[in-house]
Amino acid sequence: GAGVSQSPSNKVTEKGKDVELRCDPISGHTALYWYRQRLGQGLEFLIYFQGNSAPDKSGLPSDRFSAERTGESVSTLTIQRTQQEDSAVYLCASSLRRKNTEAFFGQGTRLTVV
Amino acid sequence: AQTVTQSQPEMSVQEAETVTLSCTYDTSESDYYLFWYKQPPSRQMILVIRQEAYKQQNATENRFSVNFQKAAKSFSLKISDSQLGDAAMYFCAYGRGNQFYFGTGTSLTVIP
């Protein structure tokens, strides 16, 4: 596609429910990233996929968070048993696997846990 | 670990004036690249400007330019002739090997 697409744009969920966020990267981009952005704050790295290599999960805050990506296509970020502290904008980005390239971002999913 | 510091949480500038946003970073690497991203209220992160560490010449994109001081590990963004549409959060980022590290952002207000 023309850009990184994320869905849904907004999600309101009840505490304790599971949610799944989706990211469609730019076609041909082998690298895919998930970030969390709490209100008024910077970007917090969550997870990084590079092609078929093992993902870098070092930023996932707890075992309630997981992410999947099949090959170089869609990725889903799943949050189980959501807590109010999970409320944030979740941003996805993709990039080419070559030096000196920037990350291209989607518009994010705003998650509100009530 | 690489860290990126933006020491100005908020800045303001009069329309048509010039403003400089500060950014410092910490790395032991010599080959990396630096970015400034803009995030308007729409949440869409937009690349403003990019600088390769091996280049001594400061990058320029229209009204946006950087002051890259490699030895000092400083990477400031200058916005000239500020416009109302420049109002946004600005994030400085460090990139190396497909990994990116972001600062906490500077909120820029443009005063008409």
Position A32 scores a pLDDT of: 93
Q: How far is CA B27 from CA A94, B31, B66, in A?
A: 23, 10, 19
Min Cα distance B80 → chain A (Å) is 23
Tell me the residues of chain A between 67 and 106 that have a Cβ less than 8 Å away from chain B: 89, 91, 93, 95, 97, 100-105
Min Cα distance B111 → chain A (Å) is 20
Residue A60 is encoded by which pair of tokens?
């996932």
- The string of pLDDT tens digits covering residues A30-78 is 899 999 999 878 899 999 998 888 899 999 999 999 999 988 889 999 9
Residue B50 has its nearest CB partner, among A43, A102, A110, at A102
Residue B100 has its nearest CB partner, among A89, A103, A107, at A103
Alpha helices in B3-108 (DSSP H): none
- The string of pLDDT tens digits covering residues B14-50 is 999 999 999 999 999 888 999 999 999 888 899 999 9
Lowest-confidence range among A1-5, B49-53, B79-83, B86-90?
A: A1-5
Position B10 scores a pLDDT of: 96
CA-nearest of B12, B90, B8 to B45 is: B90
**B64 part of contact set with chain A, CB < 8 Å:** no
